[in-house]
Structure 1
């Protein structure tokens, strides 16, 4: 292992949080290595034609220079031309950001991270190793998909999480059952209908959500508070935190985008609110999956899609296996200090994994520059 590459900071993951922090660290003169696929989840687990819920003021640059709006100006585009923001456009922005910030990414994956010589050794898929004084990991939500318990009764070939369904042509002329009732459930239904699905049933336990424009401006105060006061989220009272959680829920889950209903062809898309699946069977060979709803209705489907979100479970992140027994956790989340540092000195976790200790807005791109600012400030102090 003497021929391992050495660096100050290893960034594991090249999504919004990893790129944002790596770019700032590089600007501050730190020696860095970034491993992963740039915006990998956004390419591999988000479908073409998807529209984002974010505004043009959401970006990656902690310095506030190479923002999404700066990218639009360079391309001669106005806000009105790009809202709602197409997935492909924001991916292009992230690539532009990486290029202008000169962030080089090693197109490999980290297999394992272990402690070594007061720092860390990371084993890569290509067989190499990187020795780093500190590690910043931003595990994507793809590790944390959740499905209901009865999903085990559906053959693997007939079931997928929404994050695993990004191409729809193979389902043309087929019957699809979507379990879940938030943005991804309804948007995937729209995309399936537009790609020729014969029938799409959406089943969820709550009433049909509202479809109307919402403002995410309250995130501004959250981000500013996080930057202004160390440990801002954890210093709040439970009542104050619950109020923000409620705002996030109402904006992100209780209300869906107003452009969706026009795309939900009623001849194809059928909605079953206030219902849940009590029994599932079939799906072997050419058989369809047959489910029974709580109201005794029966549905058949060639494919079941679980738009059932994500739940934290650090044990699902394979490259952390060698450190897992040293990382303190609570309810699947790592316990972090005010600088995103875990109970393993020098190991930092950010993004969705940090949302328990920093607030639910850490699950959104909006908070990436603030996270980068706090992380890099502490890394500078730690590493000198």
Structure 2
């Protein structure tokens, strides 16, 4: 039985595995390395985060993105976006140098067994571990608006479903959403000859400013320090102090997780959108019908005015919702034993352990506990070290021969007073 099974090999999974290997744990890592970045983002996309805020985490701090770029002869400078393809290749380089033996098979099911957990791989092999770290990324949590869910995949898809937008050349596509995924997808579609429009319920698009220079007068730095999530003291707190964020009242954490760093486009995609993409603002899709290779969208404005729009395909760039019910790889009783917070995501303690002893969470599913940084690569550094310390504590104190218990549910308010 292994000490730790890491499920997922994206930035969070690889970072956790690197720290676990350095700690001497008997480790298994399963998942296709950087799968989301390699298979679900089309060529031409860029990282929205600064290069220095996009490092995976190894204990020695040697395997940074700038070190990889220097080795490859690629520039990694503040204020210059990094291509997604470069970042994916960096993740593979990190895996080769910092993680022992990634098993590229996916995990089909995880269940509790005496002394720990049992994982069944896609080809039926059974693996056992005393602890598990779920680092499954965002793909299990894709969110498509209710009005579009009745359409089949020929008519609607999520923005994360596309590693190549070439199938839409010469066609008519409507992108729903007002954030970076929507705007960059629309720009790429327009640039390849697709007739494309964006429909967003917001009354106006938000654009991030060009970042200020890294070297600035001290007074400017003190007023608005750089952070992994952008300039300003509030962003600095979210980015650099996730452990303190977790101590905020539950209601405050929930509000910040839902609203902070909301939909906005990167500064470098603005001109590409404004010069080539039709934008319909202040409208929400109320109903959708697909037939004969076409989609009819019925939209409603904020003022209650109805409109009809015909298109061939809808791409929903409408984000992700990390509810426990979407963790389908967990056995029903294991998933049912997870306590949740107000937004339906799993409650996690100070070291990312869920309410099921020995089952740890990482990434987007922990944003309601540790803040907006967990939605970005930048959060992987805090997560990896903290989570592995929690795993080591669990291995020292956890059950060795009995079934991992699934505690009775408690309300989110009660959880905040429990000290976990």
Fold conserved (TM > 0.5)? yes
In 2, Cα distance between equivalents of 1:238 and 1:116:
32
Secondary structure of the structure 1 residue equivalent to 2:378: helix
Secondary structure of the structure 2 residue equivalent to 1:320: coil
Distance verdict in 2 for CA 1:245–1:357, change over 3 Å: closer
Secondary structure of the structure 1 residue equivalent to 2:321: coil
Distance verdict in 2 for CA 1:19–1:178, change over 3 Å: same
CA positional deviation for 1:361:
1.1
TM-score normalised by structure 1 residue count: 0.89
Secondary structure of the structure 2 residue equivalent to 1:365: coil
Match of 1:275 in 2: 283
Match of 1:147 in 2: 144
Match of 1:3 in 2: none
Q: Judge conservation of contact 2:107–2:329 (CA < 8 Å) in 1.
A: yes
Secondary structure of the structure 2 residue equivalent to 1:8: strand
Match of 1:292 in 2: 298
Q: Identify which of 289, 298, 317 aligns with 1:307.
A: 317
CA positional deviation for 1:168:
1.6
1:136 and 2:133 equivalent? yes
Give runs of aligned pairs for residues 349-368 of structure 1, distance below 5 A: 349-368=361-380
Cα deviation code 1:184-230 (max 9, x no counterpart)? 11111011111211x2121111123233325614555434423xxxx
Distance verdict in 2 for CA 1:149–1:70, change over 3 Å: same
Distance verdict in 2 for CA 1:190–1:242, change over 3 Å: same
Match of 2:197 in 1: 201
Match of 1:210 in 2: 206
Q: Identify which of 325, 333, 338 aligns with 1:327.
A: 338
In 2, Cα distance between equivalents of 1:302 and 1:224:
44
CA positional deviation for 1:265:
6.7
Please, which runs of 5 or more residues in structure 2 have no aligned partner? 212-225, 397-420
In 2, Cα distance between equivalents of 1:119 and 1:210:
47
1:262 and 2:274 equivalent? no
In 1, Cα distance between equivalents of 2:255 and 2:154:
41
1:343 and 2:355 equivalent? yes
Q: Judge conservation of contact 1:62–1:370 (CA < 8 Å) in 2.
A: no
Q: Judge conservation of contact 1:315–1:321 (CA < 8 Å) in 2.
A: no
Distance verdict in 2 for CA 1:374–1:223, change over 3 Å: farther
Q: Identify which of 32, 45, 48 aligns with 2:43.
A: 48
In 2, Cα distance between equivalents of 1:203 and 1:222:
30
In 1, Cα distance between equivalents of 2:142 and 2:378:
22
CA positional deviation for 1:60:
0.9
In 2, Cα distance between equivalents of 1:179 and 1:292:
13
Secondary structure of the structure 1 residue equivalent to 2:310: strand
In 1, Cα distance between equivalents of 2:153 and 2:90:
36
Match of 1:120 in 2: 117
Please, which runs of 5 or more residues in structure 1 have no aligned partner? 1-5
In 1, Cα distance between equivalents of 2:346 and 2:258:
23
Q: Judge conservation of contact 1:279–1:292 (CA < 8 Å) in 2.
A: yes
In 1, Cα distance between equivalents of 2:78 and 2:393:
43
Paired residue total: 368
Secondary structure of the structure 2 residue equivalent to 1:260: helix
Secondary structure of the structure 1 residue equivalent to 2:283: coil
Distance verdict in 2 for CA 1:7–1:82, change over 3 Å: farther
Distance verdict in 2 for CA 1:363–1:117, change over 3 Å: same
Match of 2:57 in 1: 61
Secondary structure of the structure 1 residue equivalent to 2:48: coil
Deviates more, 1:45-54 or 1:145-154: 145-154
CA positional deviation for 1:53:
0.6
Match of 1:159 in 2: 156
1:171 and 2:183 equivalent? no
